[in-house]
A and B are shown apart, each in its own frame.
Chain A
Amino acid sequence: MAQVRTISIFKKTGLLAVALFGVISLLTSALAAYMLYDRMVQEYISKGSAITQSIAGASQEILLNRDAATVQATIDQYLEIEGVSYVFVMDADRVVVSHTFVPEMPPRLATLFEPKDGPRVAEVVVEPFGHVIDICQPILAGVAGYVHVGMNKELIRKYFWSAVMRMQGLLFVILLACVGVLFLVTRRISQPLVQLTEYADRLASHDFSADIEITSRDELGHLGRTMRSMASELARLFSDMESEVRKATGDLQEHMVYLSAIIDNLADGLLVVSPVGAVTVINPSMREFFDLGDKDYTGFAVTDVFPVEVSNLALAMRSCQGTVQSAEIPLSNGRTGKGVASSIMVVEPVNQCLGGVVLLRDITHEKALDQLKTDFISTVSHELRTPMTSVLGFAKIIRKKLEQSVLPSLADRQDSMKVATQVHENIGIIVTEAERLTELINDVLDIAKMEAGELLWGDKPVFMGDVARQAVDSTRGLWSAENVEVRLDVELNLPPVRGDHARLVQVLVNLISNGVKFSGGGPVVCRVHLDRDSVLVSVSDQGPGIPRRSIEDIFDKFKQVGDTLTEKPSGTGLGLAICRQIVEHHGGRIWVESELGKGSVFYFNIPTFEAKADVPPETLAACREYQPEPDSAMLMRGPGESHASPLILVVDDDATIGRYFTEFFEAYGFRVKLAATGEEALIMAREHMPNLITMDLMMPDMDGRTAIRCLRHNPFTRHIPILVLSALSDGVSAGGDVALTKPVDEERLVEIVRALLLNKDVRRSCLVLGDVDDMTFEGLTVFCPEDTTYCPPEEIWHHVESGFKGTIFIPAELTEGLDIDALSRLPEVSVVILPARNHKPKTV
């Protein structure tokens, strides 16, 4: 093959060379031939001229002599000269004297023009010679006649053509030789090139087994050697790469098998859908959940394969955002599943959503367990509480009847009286024990509910100082009965924590009760103060202390300090476990420090949170101008008015609604004032002290929400019940006491208004600093019709700590040394500074 193939570049060069050679040879031969032809014509003419002159010279006399035969003989001999076709001589009368034509002279020749003064050349066609150059020479200037010699032009042509032919032949031979030589040379050069090309071709088709024989030492040889080393390098790289790829592929396959095995063996059902909602992967658990069999569902629309709950979950991922939890999904065989869908996002190389994954878990068992737990709590609750109700209820009734009827009637019968008194005591024991049992049931249920996560926790700002005061207050019965002093020490300006007020009170009640129980006679001190970013509460007693081994597990369920065999446990053993649950729910920690014989300190902390969101500073600033000056007293009601019907301040920017409420409330016997904006409401609330405010939320300028904040912030208006009447459904969160959504059911409205007005009376108790006799503010009896207490300034905190709620009146001269700010921050406590004694309030 290599012998036949010639590199086409050589072929092309060869062809071009041959063509060039042909053109050049043709041109040169044509030029040479033309020159030869021209030369010969000139030569024939000069030859002819010489002959004619010679004849003319010789023939003058002869002609004059009319010796035709001699002339004939003379001209005949010229015929032998090469190229001479004919000779003829004419006399002066143009009569042909002699000629060489056989048999006769063509007549036309005789008519040729003849010059008198010299030779003339003409070209004529004469049969049988063809083209002839006729040369005419006058003899003696025509006097003696004329000589014509015809030189054969055909002969010149013959020479010409033979010369051309020979030249061409020679050139052709040379051409052939050249081509041959060229071919040989080309082949010699192209053979290694062809070999190299083939070699490169085989390398290109990854045939690294190919080899090339290199003998030459020229550039081609160098090229070949470079290629060979390159090929071996390539072969090495390729084999390396191939083995790498094989290894990687193997790893990948192994990994794929591993992954698919994981997917196939997942207990949870797995479904993957493409962004257009077509099924791409279903694992066996998923098939089993929905009885899908072994059919290949790849590419099917998810809605065609799965029930709507699952397909909705999968399709929810088309937006490729977040995760979606499903509600319970019914599975085959009456099982229940719960699904979660998440989107598949690829970040590299570009953000792309590949669809969604739905994981489905069979929660039949968990659900059953959960139900069991709920049922258990519910059942225990019911089954224990119902008999406890009877036991405790009847015991109390018996005790009451004993006290009211039996004991008085036996007053005169000593024996029966003794028995009856014992019965009374026994009944008392039953009541006490039944109450303890009830407490235990409540604790058990509490902790069960907390652990089952069934408790609804409040989530509001809570002031731990309030919590502590309330806890001290609710344990009053206990500690006053045990004659234990409980001291409360609350740091001022504590930030609020977030959580469930009632539950936090429960914690402190528990700790204080414990402290009182183990007080050892000394005081129980409850301290509330800020510790970095949490509120730290401590309850310390001077009791026997807790042994080191008990400190660890004192917060566990049913753990009590001491030996339960020798010491009678008092309490349920659950209190501290509940405390821990509550504290930990609030993100805090509870612990105890104790020294045997010296007492214990229980601590817990609750992280604070920024309350700024609740009362933005600008709101307070907005409120400020509506607050009264501290010394302008608030006893503004005239005596007659207080016994009049309750005053309702209706705040609504819509005049029609305002009019409607006015008529409506007046029909029920209330007095009504109308305010159209939040600002107006604040001013009117301060001036008229309404018993109740109904508040619209959406108002121009100051809206209802801000107005409520200001009302609540102002100690003089914070006690006024606020009923939010709004088209918005989140009225309560605006800070009102009750919220009703418009349109309002009239009966319900009146009912609620009455309830709120009733409640309010509770907040109307008054505490006045100073002596009763000194008090000349008749207005007070107006403002606090039934419940007014007078107390010396040093006892004020005692009253507050014992849970006083209402308004504290402080004569201006007694304000010195009192922390008015701290007082006014107390919940449900308002502080009013009475004007100095020497000028009575103007309204009274």
Chain B
Amino acid sequence: MAKKILIVDDEVHIKMLLEQTLEELEDEYNVELFTASDGEEGLEFIRNERPDLVFLDIMMPKMNGYEVCRIVMDDGNLGDVKIILLTAKGQEVDRKQGLELGAKMYMTKPFDPDEILKVSKELLGL
């Protein structure tokens, strides 16, 4: 079964950047890429499709990344979903909060496309 990666970010360019970065995986490893533009949309997708990996922005309209992360982590059915928090916020408190919620990683913008690729491969076991 193809692995699914979901990108949730309200910034179109960041979404594009992640998509283009991860395209490589799409070709090489038969990974499917999906995007969502806000927290609610992202959460709905996670619930319906149960992606393997989610890149989740924190500052988003409607529902922020922390909330999405908390809901996903509290949901017993979504235990396999791995979340990487992506954010421009660099404060240590944010980082701590994110990891306490159960996110696998906390990446601060600007991030290196190669790093994204590496981490994705690691977490997906590719």
User: How many chain-B residues does the 8 Å CB contact rule pick out?
Assistant: 22
Q: Which one of B29-37, B41-49, B64-72, B104-112 is at the A interface?
A: B104-112
Please determine whether B14 and A456 come into contact, CB atoms closer than 8 angstroms.
Answer: no
Residues on the A chain within 8 Å of B92, using CB: 455-456
Please determine whether A442 and B17 come into contact, CB atoms closer than 8 angstroms.
Answer: no
With contact pairs A445-B90, A454-B91, A456-B93 given, residues A386 and B109 touching in the complex (Cβ less than 8 Å): yes
Closest Cβ of chain A: how far from B65's Cβ, in Å?
12
The chain A residues found within 8 Å of chain B, CB to CB, are 377-378, 381-394, 396-397, 400, 434, 438, 442, 445, 449, 454-456, 747
With contact pairs A382-B59, A396-B113 given, residues A389 and B90 touching in the complex (Cβ less than 8 Å): no
Closest Cβ of chain B: how far from A794's Cβ, in Å?
35
How many angstroms from the CA of A454 to the CA of B89 in the assembled complex?
Answer: 13
B62 at the interface (CB under 8 A from A): no
Closest Cβ of chain A: how far from B29's Cβ, in Å?
17
How many angstroms from the CA of A234 to the CA of B77 in the assembled complex?
Answer: 100
Residues on the A chain within 8 Å of B109, using CB: 385-386, 388-389
Please determine whether B111 and A442 come into contact, CB atoms closer than 8 angstroms.
Answer: no
How many angstroms from the CA of A98 to the CA of B7 in the assembled complex?
Answer: 184
Contact with A along B65-92 (1 / 0, CB 8 A): 0000000000000010000000011111
Please determine whether B89 and A381 come into contact, CB atoms closer than 8 angstroms.
Answer: yes
The chain B residues found within 8 Å of chain A, CB to CB, are 11, 13-14, 17, 20-21, 59, 79, 88-93, 96, 108-114
| 10 cross-chain pairs, A with B, having the tightest CB-CB distances, nearest first | A385-B88, A389-B110, A382-B88, A390-B13, A393-B17, A385-B109, A389-B109, A456-B92, A388-B110, A392-B110
Closest Cβ of chain A: how far from B125's Cβ, in Å?
11
| Among candidates B11, B20, B90, B96, residue contacting A386 with C-beta atoms closer than 8 Å | B11
Closest Cβ of chain B: how far from A436's Cβ, in Å?
12
User: From DSSP, what is the main secondary structure of chain A's interface residues?
Assistant: helix
Of B17, B96, B110, B112, chain A has the most CB atoms within 10 Å of the CB of B110
Please determine whether B113 and A400 come into contact, CB atoms closer than 8 angstroms.
Answer: yes
Closest Cβ of chain B: how far from A441's Cβ, in Å?
9
Please determine whether B89 and A393 come into contact, CB atoms closer than 8 angstroms.
Answer: no
With contact pairs A385-B88, A445-B90 given, residues A393 and B110 touching in the complex (Cβ less than 8 Å): yes
Residues on the B chain within 8 Å of A384, using CB: 88
Please determine whether B17 and A397 come into contact, CB atoms closer than 8 angstroms.
Answer: yes
How many angstroms from the CA of A431 to the CA of B114 in the assembled complex?
Answer: 14
How many angstroms from the CA of A449 to the CA of B92 in the assembled complex?
Answer: 10
Residues on the A chain within 8 Å of B20, using CB: 394, 397
Closest Cβ of chain A: how far from B103's Cβ, in Å?
13
Residues on the B chain within 8 Å of A386, using CB: 11, 14, 88, 109
How many angstroms from the CA of A396 to the CA of B109 in the assembled complex?
Answer: 14
How many angstroms from the CA of A609 to the CA of B13 in the assembled complex?
Answer: 50
Residues on the A chain within 8 Å of B91, using CB: 377-378, 381, 449, 454
Residues on the B chain within 8 Å of A400, using CB: 113
Please determine whether B112 and A396 come into contact, CB atoms closer than 8 angstroms.
Answer: yes
Residues on the B chain within 8 Å of A391, using CB: 110
Closest Cβ of chain B: how far from A394's Cβ, in Å?
6
With contact pairs A390-B13, A390-B17 given, residues A382 and B113 touching in the complex (Cβ less than 8 Å): no
Residues on the B chain within 8 Å of A438, using CB: 110
| Beyond known contacts A387-B13, A394-B20: 20 more, CB 8 A cutoff | A381-B88, A381-B91, A382-B59, A382-B89, A385-B109, A389-B109, A390-B11, A390-B14, A390-B17, A391-B110, A393-B21, A393-B110, A394-B13, A397-B17, A397-B21, A400-B113, A449-B91, A454-B91, A455-B92, A747-B79
Residues on the A chain within 8 Å of B89, using CB: 378, 381-382
| Among candidates B93, B96, B111, residue contacting A389 with C-beta atoms closer than 8 Å | B111
Residues on the A chain within 8 Å of B88, using CB: 381-386, 389
Please determine whether A381 and B110 come into contact, CB atoms closer than 8 angstroms.
Answer: no
With contact pairs A381-B90, A385-B88, A456-B92 given, residues A397 and B113 touching in the complex (Cβ less than 8 Å): yes
Please determine whether A394 and B17 come into contact, CB atoms closer than 8 angstroms.
Answer: yes
How many angstroms from the CA of A442 to the CA of B109 in the assembled complex?
Answer: 10
Closest Cβ of chain A: how far from B8's Cβ, in Å?
15
Closest Cβ of chain B: how far from A329's Cβ, in Å?
24
With contact pairs A381-B88, A382-B89, A385-B108 given, residues A393 and B113 touching in the complex (Cβ less than 8 Å): yes
Residues on the A chain within 8 Å of B113, using CB: 393, 396-397, 400
How many angstroms from the CA of A383 to the CA of B87 in the assembled complex?
Answer: 11
Residues on the B chain within 8 Å of A378, using CB: 89, 91
Jot down 10 A-B pairs with beta carbons below 8 A, ordered by A.
A377-B91, A381-B90, A390-B13, A390-B17, A392-B110, A393-B21, A394-B20, A397-B20, A400-B113, A454-B91
How many angstroms from the CA of A811 to the CA of B92 in the assembled complex?
Answer: 45
Closest to B20 in A: A397
Residues on the A chain within 8 Å of B59, using CB: 382
Of B21, B90, B111, chain A has the most CB atoms within 10 Å of the CB of B90
Closest Cβ of chain A: how far from B73's Cβ, in Å?
11
How many angstroms from the CA of A400 to the CA of B21 in the assembled complex?
Answer: 10
How many angstroms from the CA of A434 to the CA of B113 in the assembled complex?
Answer: 14
How many angstroms from the CA of A449 to the CA of B94 in the assembled complex?
Answer: 13
Closest to A758 in B: B122
Closest to B95 in A: A456
Residues on the B chain within 8 Å of A455, using CB: 92
Closest Cβ of chain A: how far from B92's Cβ, in Å?
4
Please determine whether A385 and B21 come into contact, CB atoms closer than 8 angstroms.
Answer: no
Closest to B111 in A: A389
How many angstroms from the CA of A562 to the CA of B109 in the assembled complex?
Answer: 33
Closest Cβ of chain A: how far from B85's Cβ, in Å?
14
